[in-house]
């Protein structure tokens, strides 16, 4: 008389039918007569029966779960993508499993790409080893991507997006335009830097090593970049900067202001991502908006489509970005 958990045979016994019939009544009611269906439903109600997903999954050779591999769960940038993913996966009957690739060891990575762990994988971390992931369960990549991994990608054109930012600054009349790059080796950093350089060249603007600052997407690295910039001679340092993330742009502006300078009077700043907060700081930040929720949703949809056996052309989905002009950019001081 303990808290006995009723199973399908308890229901079957009570309803006076076989377990096969109960199973059919639940998953394919049209195969069962009206009368027995009622009986089964009654038995379910009185026993309080609930289906055991694990057993069903075992039989179906699936897990009902999708793993998202994120580089750093604590980074708010990802939470909106995850939100988009969750909004698609939930209604589709899949569980969203989240694994932090920094917390989890590299060996654990293999476990996550196991068919017995998850039915599919969404990769948000481009720094993972391609070898460990190829030929495993179905997967898609979102935002970042792993070079050499054959998986559909849902992303933006980072190179062109960087161009939008730099062109905006050039249009305002800036000629010494700097760039704070993301983490070394990161695919996004590389693409955005390339876009920055492309655009300077196409506009006939000087490309100076001293105008490129190392960063890692974090607030603190933006602050450090500002320290470097502040120490450069005023007549040669950039009058405008494009930073590869909004977080860095925040850190940069904060430090510059703390030294008594003003944005955009003394320096124009463009960020990247359009995280919610930066519209509310002062000055509100000019930035490149990435459709983060949509990226997550589309990635999830493409994965589900694949799992359902749908045709998938393996083509990348490129979502469009938008230059959001706010108050952190202006013409250079004469």
Partner DNA sequence: GAGCGTGATGTAATCGGTTTCATTAACGAT
Partner DNA sequence: ATCGTTAATGAAACCGATTACATCACGCTC
Interface residues toward DNA, by CB under 7 A: 5, 7-9, 16-24, 26-27, 31-33, 35-36, 49-52, 55-56, 58-61
Helical packing angle, 19-27 and 34-47, nearest 10°: 100
Of 210 and 257, the one with the shorter C-beta distance to its own copies is 257
Q: Which does 265 bind (CB under 5 to 8 A by kind): DNA, its own copies, none?
A: none
For DNA, the closer CB: 35 or 334 = 35
Instruction: Name residues whose C-beta falls within 8 Å of residue 44's C-beta, 6 or more positions apart in sequence.
Output: 11
Pairwise CA distance, residues 219 & 212, whole Å: 17
Q: Which helix (H) or strand (E) holds 83?
A: helix 76-89
| CB proximity list for 56: less than 8 A, separation 6 or greater | none
Phi, psi of 48 (to 5 degrees): 75, 30
87 binds its own copies (CB under 8 A): yes
Residues facing 96 on adjacent strands:
66
Name which of 17 and 133 has its Cβ closer to DNA.
17
134 touching its own copies, by CB under 8 A: no
- The string of DSSP codes covering 24-35 is HHHH-GGGS-HH
The residue from 47, 214, 257, 305 that contacts its own copies (CB under 8 A) is 257
104 contact choice in DNA, its own copies, none (CB below 5 to 8 Å, kind-dependent): its own copies
Residues 230-249 that bind its own copies (CB under 8 A): 247
Measured in degrees and rounded to the nearest 5, phi and psi for residue 136 equal -105, -145
Please state the closest distance from residue 306 (CB atom) to DNA, in A: 20
Q: Is 27 in the site for its own copies (CB under 8 A)?
A: no
Look at residue 293 and give the partner it binds from DNA, its own copies, none, a contact being a CB closer than 5 to 8 Å depending on partner kind: its own copies
d(CA 294, CA 54): 31
Residue 292 or 302: which CB sits closer to its own copies?
A: 292
Q: Is 19 exposed, middle or buried (0-12, 13-18, 19+ CB in 10 A)?
A: middle
Tell me the closest approach of the beta carbon of residue 227 to its own copies, in angstroms: 13
- Strand-pairing partners, residue 67, are 97, 121
How many CB atoms lie under 10 A from the CB of residue 33?
A: 11
Cβ nearer to DNA, comparing 62 with 326: 62
Site of interaction with its own copies (CB under 8 A): 5, 50-55, 57-58, 63, 65, 72-76, 78-80, 82-83, 86-87, 90-91, 95-100, 103-104, 108, 114-117, 219, 222-223, 247, 250-251, 253-255, 257-258, 276-277, 279-282, 284, 293
């Amino acid at each position: 008389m303990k808290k006995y958990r009723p199973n399908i045979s308890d229901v079957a016994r009570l309803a006076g039918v076989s377990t096969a019939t109960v199973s059919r009544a639940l998953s394919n009611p049209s195969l069962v007569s009206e009368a027995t269906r009622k009986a089964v439903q009654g038995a379910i109600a009185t026993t309080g029966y609930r289906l055991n997903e694990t057993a069903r999954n075992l039989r179906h050779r699936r897990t009902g779960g999708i793993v998202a591999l994120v580089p750093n769960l604590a980074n708010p940038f990802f939470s909106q993508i995850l939100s988009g993913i969750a909004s698609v996966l939930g209604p589709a009957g899949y569980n969203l499993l989240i694994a932090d690739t920094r917390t989890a060891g590299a060996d654990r990575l293999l476990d996550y790409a196991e068919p017995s762990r998850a039915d599919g994988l969404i990769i948000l971390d481009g720094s993972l080893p391609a070898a460990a992931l190829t030929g495993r369960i179905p997967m898609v990549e979102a935002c970042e991507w792993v070079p050499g991994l054959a998986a559909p990608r849902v992303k933006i054109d980072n190179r062109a997006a960087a161009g939008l930012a730099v062109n905006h600054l050039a249009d305002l009349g800036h000629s010494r335009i700097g760039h704070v790059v993301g983490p070394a080796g990161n695919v996004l950093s590389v693409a955005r830097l390339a876009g920055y350089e492309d655009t300077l060249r196409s506009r006939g603007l000087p490309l100076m090593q001293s105008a490129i600052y190392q960063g890692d997407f974090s607030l603190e690295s933006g602050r450090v970049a500002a320290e470097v910039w502040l120490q450069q001679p005023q007549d040669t340092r950039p009058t405008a900067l494009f930073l590869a993330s909004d977080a860095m742009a925040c850190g940069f502006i904060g430090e510059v202001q703390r030294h008594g300078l003003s944005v955009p009077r003394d320096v124009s700043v463009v960020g990247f991502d359009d995280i919610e907060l930066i519209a509310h700081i002062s000055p509100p930040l000019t930035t490149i908006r990435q459709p983060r929720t949509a990226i997550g949703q589309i990635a999830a949809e493409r994965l589900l489509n694949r799992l359902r056996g749908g045709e998938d052309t393996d083509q990348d989905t490129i979502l469009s970005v938008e230059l959001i002009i706010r108050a952190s950019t202006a013409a250079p001081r004469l």
